[in-house]
Amino acid sequence: MRSWRAYAVCAFAVTAAVALLLVGVGVGTASAVWFGAGLAYGLQLIAFGALLAVRDRAQLLLAGWLTGMVLRFGAVGLSIFWLSRNAVLPRDPAVLSLAGFMFLLLLLEPVFLRWDLRRS
């Protein structure tokens, strides 16, 4: 559980810092960037929690990882579908920020996957 909390704190800090940087530079609209950042952060917490639940069972580790990938791709697909039907947010900045934040947070997962196991 410590590794999930450490991941959540670090992922929040990275997500907030990058989102503030993107909004400050003027990439897309602020609402689209924050939409992508928030959705990616929430999905990553769920996917990483699922991966942690099966990390000690080698035969289920791939299934946990694939479940997280299906969740991520499904979220991107559903977001594209929803944004193409509604003009709530600009589609391109929202989808690009969602995919970018998911990739960025996905790169953090290996650092925290065995976090509490090496600290004991």
Give the start-to-end residue ranges of the domains of the chain.
Answer: 2-118
pTM: 0.86
State residue 118's pLDDT score.
64
pLDDT for the residue numbered 30: 87
Mean pLDDT split into 10-residue runs, the chain, 120 residues: 89 94 79 92 93 85 87 92 88 90 92 70
3-state secondary structure the chain: CHHHHHHHHHHHHHHHHHHHHHHHHCCCCHHHHHHHHHHHHHHHHHHHHHHHHCCCCHHHHHHHHHHHHHHHHHHHHHHHHHHHHCCCCCHHHHHHHHHHHHHHHHHHHHHHHCHHHHCC
